Amino acid sequence: MTLRPEKQSMKERILETADRLFYLRGIRAVGVDTIAAEVGISKRTLYNHFPSKDELIAAYLQGRFNKAPPSDKPPIEQILGTFDRLERGFASKGFRGCPFVNAVAELGSEDKSVKKIAIAFKESRRIWFRDLLLKLDVPDPEGLATQLTLLVDGSIAQDLVRDDPSMARAAKEAARVLLGNAGVGIVGRDGGNTAGAAKKRSSSRRTRRPPDV
Amino acid sequence: MTLRPEKQSMKERILETADRLFYLRGIRAVGVDTIAAEVGISKRTLYNHFPSKDELIAAYLQGRFNKAPPSDKPPIEQILGTFDRLERGFASKGFRGCPFVNAVAELGSEDKSVKKIAIAFKESRRIWFRDLLLKLDVPDPEGLATQLTLLVDGSIAQDLVRDDPSMARAAKEAARVLLGNAGVGIVGRDGGNTAGAAKKRSSSRRTRRPPDV
DNA sequence: GCCTAATTACACAGATCGGTGTAATCAAGG
DNA sequence: CCTTGATTACACCGATCTGTGTAATTAGGC
């Protein structure tokens, strides 16, 4: 009966489907019945693994907490590479903004646990930037790290409404300026200039998975 | 019976209440019954003024389209002043992020009209920045305007999840660097340095109206 | 074969959703 | 006074929501 390996546990299957639907259509817009039907299980089974939708939501956001893969590349490349990965994410078909920001926007200040997870995620990214900046001996790693997160979240929000992956490139150029201002030497500018980046209203949206946010 | 002037029309009263509830609690989270009850009218009256909730949502977002007051102050002050107003907005009690981003995040790609309004708003702000930058004769007003909008939206998203109005200051400092890099002379840095701005995890939230986004 | 645990189908509860139909009431202006 | 239009109360629709109760069915390990 098991046509394919099916190494996933039931809980994983539920969580995977919930992740996809919550992220793509919105948390409030997706009911537990829809999730159960999509997984191909009964609603009862779903509730056997997650006591409530709220817990499923929390698990969904926890699962979005990325596994930032450690890299041995130079810090400056890692920092700027963030925006390249961001641009690929924007261009992927299923991109729908930052799941944490979206969740907070949807569920408001009612759900405290959701906000806590969102805060933790945002802070983790800021710390990731900061630790890289520490290696670069910039004057103010804390403040610069915060500014870089602003560019990240700003480009995400802009792409969410505009569907314009070039926002990531604009953010990258701004990041380069901020880094340069902090005394970090400019590293290989890629291809074209960034002028009029907002003009190339790309209508691409290829078929890739949303890598990370 | 009219204790106070009551110069508002019925439609305005409905829209005002809808705006407050939609923005504060989320669009999907607020039903038409709730809005009617809050206004103190019957649901029938509400539907006499707005044929559907979707139209009410559209009117809500249209109403958020700000009236950018023309100013005769120097462009550079207007640009940087944006972040000051942003910080005041963040510190106000009812601030809950960008209504347009929130709406797109909530309603997803289903509602086309909502997305159109959101795009128009974001673009209008970019144009506002660009026109000011044109007066400053910067090399790339289009690209720089885009970058400034990234800082604006980034700080809004960050404040939404962190409740930290200092994000606006961090954005302002970054904007100053970007402007300086474009050849615009530094204008009066205010008070303290921007270092560790992310540290002053303000728990303020005063009682003010959300001015604009 | 048997025990245990998971999963199933399915009905149902209680609430809320957007939206409508209807008839009574109210207010204002001619 | 009378007419007209707005507003009211209120019942109701069908759909959907989260969550539960229950009894039958399945599958695997001993």
pLDDT in tens, B147-178: 999 999 999 999 999 999 999 999 999 999 99
Report the alpha-carbon distance of residue B71 to residue B41 in Å, rounded.
40
B177 contact residues in A (CB cutoff 8 A): 177-178, 181
**CA of B106 vs chain A CAs: smallest distance (Å):** 6
Q: Provide CB contacts within 8 A for B44, sequence distance 6+.
A: none
Q: Which of A108-122, A189-203, B60-74, B88-102 has the highest mean pLDDT?
A: B88-102
List strand C contacts in B 25-64 (CB < 7 A).
30-34, 43-44, 47, 51-54
Report the alpha-carbon distance of residue B125 to residue A203 in Å, rounded.
22
Report the alpha-carbon distance of residue A153 to residue A165 in Å, rounded.
13
Q: Which of residues 69-98 of A touch B (CB under 8 A)?
A: 96-98
In which band, very low, low, confident or very high, does the pLDDT at A213 lie, cut at 50, 70 and 90? Answer: low
Protein residue closest via CA to C1' of C21:
B44
Are B98 and B156 in contact by the 8 Å Cβ rule? The answer is yes
Buried b (16+ CB within 10 A) or exposed e, A164-183: bbbbbbbbbbbbbbbbebbe
Q: What is the pLDDT of residue A144?
A: 98
Query: Would the CB atoms of B198 and A143 count as touching at under 8 Å?
Result: yes
Residue A33 has which token pair? 């019945």
The answer to whether B11 CB is within 7 Å of strand C is no
Query: Which residues of chain B carry a pLDDT beneath 70?
Result: 1-7, 67, 186-213
Q: In chain A, list all ranges with CATH 1.10.10.60.
A: 10-63
- Which secondary-structure segment (H or E) carries B145? helix B141-162
Q: What is the pLDDT of residue A185?
A: 76
Q: What is the pLDDT of residue A196?
A: 36
Helix-strand-coil percent breakdown of chain B, rounded to 5? 60, 0, 40
Question: How many whole angstroms from its chain centre is CA A206?
Answer: 17
A104 contact residues in B (CB cutoff 8 A): 97, 160-161
In which band, very low, low, confident or very high, does the pLDDT at A212 lie, cut at 50, 70 and 90? Answer: low
Statement: residue A210 has pLDDT above 70: no
Q: Which residue in A142, A155, A181 is closest to B181 by CB distance?
A: A181
Query: Would the CB atoms of A161 and B101 count as touching at under 8 Å?
Result: yes
Q: What is the pLDDT of residue B159?
A: 98
Statement: residue A61 has pLDDT above 80: yes
Q: Which class for B20: exposed (0-12), middle (13-18), buried (19 or more C-beta within 10 A)?
A: middle
Query: Would the CB atoms of A162 and B25 count as touching at under 8 Å?
Result: no
Statement: residue A131 has pLDDT above 60: yes
Q: What is the pLDDT of residue A124?
A: 97
Q: CATH homologous superfamily for B10-63?
A: Homeodomain-like (1.10.10.60)
Q: What is the pLDDT of residue A199?
A: 39
Question: How many whole angstroms from its chain centre is CA A103?
Answer: 12
- Comparing B208 with A182, which gets the higher pLDDT? A182
**CA of B28 vs chain A CAs: smallest distance (Å):** 7
Statement: residue A140 has pLDDT above 50: yes
B196, amino acid identity: G
Give the residue-averaged pLDDT of A168-181.
Answer: 98
